[in-house]
Amino acid sequence: MADHLYLKYNNLTLPELVDNINTDYYRVIEGFFDSENYSTAQGLKDFIQLRKDIIVPYVYELHGKAATGHDCSNCSGKCEVQHKLKTVEFTGSINNMKQGESYPAASDMAVIINELLFVEEQILLPKIIEAQKEINVYS
């Protein structure tokens, strides 16, 4: 699984990666919400909502700042805090999902969630951190 996912997603730009994750995972998981079996999975709904409301827009914002040559080392300091907060929130959400909702190992939902967590943790998060470094968040 890991090799296939890594090959599929690793060479994408940050916006392309987020668009693909949205299509391949977030929308698919939202489709399960309409199913009787998953209608009470509030934790999963919150997990996806965080991504759609905060992480996806942040990735586009971050990409835009990198494209325009923004340099956070020239900002007042609040910029650095806000960037780091997004990373911490995203990492915490990944860790919470790993320890939270449990689905039968062979279920479609379990496979989708496990793949998504791998892609987010091993590919998306490092790309976000790299984009933050490009705009000198960690200076």
> Exposed, middle or buried: residue 30 (CB in 10 Å: 0-12, 13-18, 19+)?
middle
The token duo for 75 is: 């900002």
pLDDT at site 96: 86
Residues of the chain with pLDDT under 50: 39-40
Q: How far apart are CA 133 and CA 135, in angstroms?
A: 5
Q: Which residues, 6 or more positions from 58, have their beta carbon under 8 angstroms from its beta carbon? A: 86, 128
pLDDT at site 138: 80
Q: How far apart are CA 114 and CA 80, in angstroms?
A: 31
pLDDT at site 128: 96
pLDDT at site 38: 54
Q: What is the pTM for the complete model shown?
A: 0.87
Question: In the chain, what are the domain boundaries?
Answer: 2-134
**pLDDT tens-digit readout, 49-81:** 999 999 999 999 999 999 999 998 888 777 888
DSSP state for residue 24 in the 8-state scheme: I
pLDDT at site 46: 84
